Amino acid sequence: MIDPVSALSNVLGVKGWLSGGDVEPYRWDWLRRYGAVPLGVARPANTQEVARVVEICREAGVAVVPQGGNTGLCGGAVAHETGAVILSLSRMAAMEKPDLASGSIVVEAGVVLATLHEALEPHGLIFPMHLGAEGSARIGGLIGTNAGGSHALRYGMMQDLVLGLEVVLADGTVWNGLRSVQKDNAGYQLRKLFCGSEGTLGIVTRAVLKLFPAPKQRTTALLTFADCGAAVSFGTYLRGEAGEFLSGLEFFSDFGLKLVLKHMADLSFPLETRGGVHLLAELASSSARVPLDDILNAALEWGMERELVIDGALAMSDAQRAHFWHLREEQPEGQRLEGQQLKHDISVPPGKIAEFIEAGEAACSKILPGVRINPFGHLGDGNIHYNLSPPKGQSDFADKALELGQALASLATGMGGSFAAEHGLGRSKIVLADTNRSPEERNLMAVIKDALDPSGVMNPGVMISSVRQRKTFQ
Ligand SMILES: Cc1cc2nc3c(=O)[nH]c(=O)nc-3n(C[C@H](O)[C@H](O)[C@H](O)COP(=O)(O)OP(=O)(O)OC[C@H]3O[C@@H](n4cnc5c(N)ncnc54)[C@H](O)[C@@H]3O)c2cc1C
């Protein structure tokens, strides 16, 4: 039997193999719910080393947990039980020059999203994935979770932005699918299979990403509405008027705003009036000729005439635009600073957002009277972060977590939506998947998992419960 520690330290050297106290920075997930002691942390420098790590772990029967920026919110990037190897892609952060004619770039999986944004700026190009964790999240992790973010309504999710992939498979072989074309129907869409697979099928080592011309102009408005129904009506109208120029349509509640203003002294709310729901709408174009201000102003007039929009302001400078976005992006942090919370990542068809929020409030208040609800997120694509704080004066409500989660999941599923919109299942949502997805759907997933990872070493306990075999799903 192979000794994995000496084999891995021989292959990776001192820079590439961490053990003992050195594993601490990699050990806990972002929300600090999971953090079994790993056997060690492998930090390979290239694809060949990743393949060797996987081969050694498979031979030794040791689980491999790929880790990017470790900002995932479902506990998928850390060890499930003592003795797994965390495989950090942090040393694989090289980028090729962007291919200007094709609008693409080849990057290693460890590239940090914000670093990619900066590198593209001088070329007049963008990679249009934006999220609050972009200073830490890495390309491999974004692909692993099929991240969505605030521009998904215009550009799609990660699976829509990946043209090609290189993946180390569970047997240590390397699949090179680094093609740079949009049209490639030569068989199953393998690259999409790995988008959102959370490290359970293979390890993404490189990717070809789709790029877009940088906007030459933007116009951003912060608006306030009496309630979510009014915001949804306005959002529907704006989508019709602004079409392909609409690049952001984000909402947050007045409760969420209160938390942000309470805990972050540098933020203020610029409007005189405050309704129950606030909306950030942004239009962008890579042409300077499109009259974005006119489109947005006409829509605002329409909304005010119908008394949907109570108050609003257009950003008059880049600093003001950044301030508007901060109010939205600091929603998770504002609630974290308030104390314990339960996070839910729901999606419903966009026209049903208001209905979901109302029904969700009724369901949650029945289970836990006084529970404080902070819905915010991506109005344009129907993705609601339906996060809960305990009733005032109560610090702990973990005993109600499962019941609340189940109620919201079945409500979303019943409306044709999902209980795991953009963060994935990780470890924390397996129970919800077991109860809210049909046996046929779970069987299909288990068949794929069995076929690609027959020895079960790739991130066990994530996405598909490791103790459940395909047969038990009947
Ligand atoms: C403040 C904040 C805001 C956020 N906002 C959003 C948002 O708007 N939209 C959104 O979608 N998410 C959001 N997230 C969640 C998180 O940032 C995303 O899920 C992100 O994609 C995770 O990237 P990461 O590099 O940190 O991945 P990690 O957390 O390291 O890993 C996530 C999963 O991918 C797997 N993985 C990592 N690297 C690889 C690889 N190379 N190959 C295969 N699998 C791999 C891991 O095993 C794990 O299962 C937010 C998180 C925070 C903390």
Note down the domain range covering 50: 4-88
Find the helix or strand (DSSP H, E) in which 433 lies: helix 430-436
On whether the CB atoms of residues 23 and 86 are closer than 8 A, the answer is yes
Q: What is the pLDDT of residue 472?
A: 37
On whether the CB atoms of residues 426 and 453 are closer than 8 A, the answer is no
- Take atom 18 of ligand 1 and give the residue whose Cα is closest: 72
pLDDT at 467 over 70: no
CA distance to 163, 248, 390, per residue, from 206 (Å) = 11, 28, 42
DSSP bridge pairs for 106? 208
Of 145, 159, 250, 458, best ligand 1 pocket probe by most atoms within 8 Å of the beta carbon: 145
- Take atom 41 of ligand 1 and give the residue whose Cα is closest: 140
The last residue of one of the domains, among 188, 213, 238, is 213
Of ligand 1's listed atoms, the one at least distance from the Cα of 136 is: 26
The last residue of one of the domains, among 197, 213, 229, is 213
Q: Are residues 244 and 321 in the same domain?
A: yes
Q: Rounded mean pLDDT of 35-59?
A: 97
On whether the CB atoms of residues 284 and 245 are closer than 8 A, the answer is yes
In sequence order, which residues have a C-beta less than 8 Å from that of residue 293 and are 6 or more positions away?
Answer: 219, 314
Q: Is 95 inside any structural domain?
A: no
Q: What percentage of the chain reaches a pLDDT higher than 90?
A: 94
Backbone φ, ψ for residue 213 (5° rounding): -60, 140
Q: Which two tokens stand for residue 117?
A: 């944004």
Q: What is the pLDDT of residue 466?
A: 54
The rounded distance, in Å, linking the Cα atoms of 203 and 194 is: 9
Q: Are residues 181 and 248 in the same domain?
A: no
pLDDT in tens, 201-256: 999 999 999 999 999 999 999 999 999 999 999 999 999 999 999 999 999 999 99
The rounded distance, in Å, linking the Cα atoms of 368 and 397 is: 9
Find the helix or strand (DSSP H, E) in which 347 lies: strand 345-347
Q: Are residues 282 and 181 in the same domain?
A: no
The rounded distance, in Å, linking the Cα atoms of 166 and 92 is: 13
pLDDT in tens, 176-195: 999 999 999 999 999 999 99
Q: Are residues 206 and 128 in the same domain?
A: yes
> 37: domain CATH number?
3.30.43.10
- Take atom 8 of ligand 1 and give the residue whose Cα is closest: 149
The rounded distance, in Å, linking the Cα atoms of 357 and 388 is: 12
Of ligand 1's listed atoms, the one at least distance from the Cα of 147 is: 11
> 364: domain CATH number?
3.30.70.2740
- Spell out which residues line ligand 1, taking CB within 6 angstroms: 30, 65-73, 76-77, 89, 109, 131-133, 137-138, 140-142, 144-145, 147-149, 198-199, 203-204, 332, 422-423, 426, 459, 462
Of ligand 1's listed atoms, the one at least distance from the Cα of 142 is: 21
Instruction: Compute the distance from residue 139 Cα to the ligand 1 centre, in Å.
Output: 9
Q: What is the 3-state secondary structure (H, E, C) of 230-286?
A: HHHHHHHHHHHHHHHHEEEEEEEEHHHHHHHHHHCCCCCCCCCCCCCEEEEEEEEEC
In sequence order, which residues have a C-beta less than 8 Å from that of residue 122 and are 6 or more positions away?
Answer: none
pLDDT in tens, 297-339: 999 999 999 999 999 999 999 999 999 999 999 999 999 999 9
Query: pLDDT category, 128, cuts 50, 70, 90?
Result: very high
Q: Are strands 162-169 and 174-177 parallel, antiparallel or unpaired?
A: antiparallel
Longest dimension (CA), the chain: 76
